[in-house]
Amino acid sequence: MIHQYKLNGYNIVLDVCSGSIHLVDEIAYDMIAGYENTARETLIADLAAKYAHKTDPEELKQAYDQLTALKEAGKLFTPDNYQPMAGQLKAKTSGVIKALCLHVAHTCNLNCSYCFASQGKYHGDRAIMSFEVGKRALDFLVEHSGSRKNLEVDFFGGEPLMNFQVVKDLVAYARSIEKEKGKHFRFTLTTNGVLVDEDVIDFANRECHNVVLSLDGRKEIHDRFRVDFAGNGSWERIVPKFQRFVEARDGKGYYMRGTFTHANPDFLKDIQTMLDLGFTELSMEPVVCAPEDPSALTEADKPIVMQQYEDLAKLMLERDKEGRPFTFYHYMIDLTGGPCIYKRISGCGSGTEYMAVTPWGDLYPCHQFVGEEKFRLGDIWTGVTNHAIQDQFAACNVYARPECRDCWARLYCSGGCAANAYHATGKITGTYQYGCDLFRKRMECALMLAAARQLKMKS
Amino acid sequence: MIQIKTLETRNLCESAKNGGCGECQTSCQSACKTSCGIANQNCENK
């Protein structure tokens, strides 16, 4: 399978199953489009007529032979022979858990109406994780991590800094057992910034592999949803804190993470605001909510969003030239590295290698399923007991979704997000088509950007 | 001259040979938390 498209002056051909990328002129572009369904002599004659002013049959024959050589080298029209391997990685690592999302606070000091976690409470009561529950969760992770060395723990909420002492105590506990257990913890903190102070900054810079800082961009956009319980916007309060935080981070990982909604499908303006504020590691995500929610993205928003993604990629190339590069999370593609094919077909790992832990110690497949009682997997004392649900997640790979089989982007999303699929279709093996459309556009832009950067490096 | 320029990329078929180690990061752990993208993840076994 191939995917060919034109973007920013490039004619791009992706050979889906080998991962090869070819940049071609318009004649080769048309030849590739016809290669598999048109006889050699017919195709060459057709193209000779169409491009008589640019080429001749001899050159076309050489180009055709070049494409045949690429096919024989496994770089064009590569068949998908991966399906038998789809369950292998999960089977090999069955029972191994490598990441937990610790819901240390099911409460929040902001009252954002678009919050997928219903203002941090996940459709339940407010709750705070105790040290004892958190410690047991870390022990549970170590016990189930097999031979894996790097363990990931995200302090999440609600607002995790509303339970900061427990966060600090849990990190201290984790560090105290690392050596004895032969493990290394990578901590991530996701925060709305309200409670960020020097103590938080020092702690995070010492202990957190990454911090995710929630900012929606322009003040009026941010303050539309990200308000406190008195209805006051939070932008003025948090931006100086985030600037100080990022400055002190001194090169360690962070993301400014924004959400765009029906209120700002023109989210590039919000990215520009983030850049103007001095932030360079950026993530901007489409809102996740019910279709009837007023913040939900509409079909009319889609072309605007698509254009933003293109313009964002072009802006990144411009800023590269100016020596002011920045990162967009979804455009980070390492063409020569990146994940192996096993990772690409295995699905996202929720419910198997990754789980969320509630403040009272229940286990869910991921943070987005918390509060959906039928998805409760078990708890951190007795482990997974709902094997029927876990088996569904274990079987959730890229080949489990019929819609993915003909999608060129399947090896870049691994079948997509089970939670999005569930909320859109009622099945974790469904597909959230709106999200898929946006994802494909992001990948087209990301591949163009990576190709342009590789060309520039080589020149 | 008709232009066909092949970029340098990781060969996914070749990457099948070592069997996959599973050491890489969990898919949506770090930044987005609301979608699944695996293309931007690093291989920890290179």
pLDDT tens digits, one per residue of A292-322: 899 999 999 999 999 999 999 999 999 999 9
What local confidence, expressed as pLDDT, does residue B46 receive? 63
Domain A92-341, architecture per CATH: Alpha-Beta Barrel (3.20)
* Rounded CA separation A198/A416 (Å): 38
User: What is the average pLDDT score of chain B?
Assistant: 81
Of A114, A454, A448, A452, the residue nearest A309 (C-alpha)? A448
Taking the alpha carbons at both ends of chain B, their separation in whole angstroms is 37
Query: How many percent of chain A have pLDDT more than 90?
Result: 86
SS3 of A136, please?
helix
Strands A281-286 and A327-328: parallel
Residue B31: is its pLDDT beyond 70?
no
How far apart, in whole angstroms, are the C-alpha atoms of residue A161 and residue A154?
A: 12
Stated pTM of the model: 0.95
Task: Tell me whether residues B20 and A343 touch, CB distance under 8 A.
Answer: yes
Identify the residue among B3, B6, B9 best suited for mutation to test binding to A, counting A beta carbons within 10 A and taking the highest: B9
**Measured between beta carbons, which residues in chain A are less than 8 angstroms from residue B15?**
340-342
Which tokens hold the place of A277? 């504020």
CA distance A380 to A18: 41
pLDDT value at residue B19: 75
pLDDT confidence of residue B30 = 63
Does the pLDDT of residue B24 top 90, yes or no? Answer: no
B8-41: burial string, b at 16+ Cβ within 10 Å, e else: ebbbbbebbeeebbbbbbbbbbbbbbbbbbbbbb
The CA distance from B23 to A148, in Å, is 7
pLDDT for the residue numbered A92: 76
**Sequential DSSP letters for A217-281:** SSHHHHHHH-B-TTS-BSHHHHHHHHHHHHHHHTT-EEEEEEEE-TT-S-THHHHHHHHHTT--E
Q: Give bridge partners of residue A22 from the DSSP assignment.
A: A13, B6
pLDDT means over runs of 10, chain A (459 residues)? 97 97 98 97 97 96 98 97 81 86 97 87 93 98 94 95 98 98 96 98 96 97 96 98 96 94 97 98 92 93 98 98 96 90 87 95 96 96 97 90 93 91 92 95 98 93
Is residue A217 exposed (0-12), middle (13-18) or buried (19+ Cβ within 10 Å)?
buried
Model pLDDT, residue A119: 83
**Cα–Cα distance between A414 and B38 in angstroms, integer?**
7
- Whether the CB of A194 is below 8 Å from some CB of chain B: the reply is no
- Counted across chains A and B, CB pairs separated by less than 8 A come out at 213
Determine the Cα angle at A404 with ends A402 and A405, to 5°: 75
If we measure between CA atoms, which residue out of A196, A298, A191, A305 comes closest to residue A248?
A196
- Taking Cα atoms as reference points, which of A14, A35, A11 lies closest to residue A23? A11
Q: Residue A391 to residues A155, A349, A375: CA-CA distances in angstroms?
A: 26, 12, 12
- What are the structure tokens assigned to A117, written together? 């976690």
Residues in B touching A183 (Cβ below 8 Å): none
CA angle A197-A202-A205, nearest 5°?
120
- Rounded to the nearest 10°, the torsion over CA A278, B40, A158, A253 is -40
> Is A286 in Cβ contact with B2 (below 8 Å)?
no
B17 inside 8 A of chain A by CB = no
Please check the confidence at residue B34 and state whether its pLDDT lies above 80: no
CA–CA gap between residue A32 and residue A70 (Å, rounded): 11
The beta-strand segments (E) located in A27-183 are: 99-106, 127-128, 150-157
What pLDDT, on a 0 to 100 scale, did the predictor assign at position A324? 97
Q: What is the pLDDT of residue B43?
A: 82
Q: A383 forms bridges with which residues in the sheet?
A: A379
Hey, which residues 34-73 in chain A have their CB within 8 Å of chain B?
Answer: 55, 59-60, 62-63, 66-67, 70
B10 and A212 in contact by Cβ < 8 A? no
pLDDT attached to residue B29: 60
Helix %, strand %, coil % for chain A, to 5? 45, 15, 35
Among residues A402, A361, A359, the alpha carbon closest in space to that of A381 is found at A361
Partnered with residue A15 across adjacent β-strands are: A2, A20
Which of A59, A60, A413 minimises the CB distance to B36? A413
| Count of beta carbons in the 10 Å neighbourhood of residue A6 | 12
Tokens for A50? 């169409």
Give B22's pLDDT tier (boundaries 50, 70, 90).
confident
DSSP secondary structure letters along A355-383: EEE-TTSEEESSGGGTT-GGG--EETTTE
